[in-house]
């Protein structure tokens, strides 16, 4: 089956009314999609980025990574002061 994305512009209240007619499974799919796209704080995004990097870079020691982080922070701060 072929799918095509479309953009709909409907008043928000009509959208909410349409959601009421969905099956529980359809509502669950929408909820999961929205939860994946929720706006998170920079701390949460940074934590997820560190977890991802940690999984991908197991060949580097913790000391090497900490040193790289210190250097990166120093570089960003020095640019902010210039």
Lookup: tokens for 49 = 């980025």
18 token code pair? 């349409």
pLDDT of residue 21: 92
Question: How many whole angstroms separate alpha carbon 15 and alpha carbon 56?
Answer: 41
Give residue-wise pLDDT tens across range 15-64: 889 999 999 999 999 888 888 777 678 888 888 888 888 787 778 888 88
Greatest alpha-carbon pair distance for the chain in Å reads 57
């Amino acid at each position: 089956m072929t799918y095509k994305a479309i953009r709909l512009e409907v008043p928000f209240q009509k959208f909410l009314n349409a959601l009421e007619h969905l099956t529980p499974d359809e509502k669950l799919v929408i909820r999961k999609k929205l939860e994946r796209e929720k706006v998170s704080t920079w701390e949460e995004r940074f934590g997820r980025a560190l977890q991802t990097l940690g999984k991908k870079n197991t060949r580097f020691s913790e000391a090497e990574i900490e040193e790289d982080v210190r250097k990166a922070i120093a570089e960003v701060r020095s640019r902010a002061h210039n």
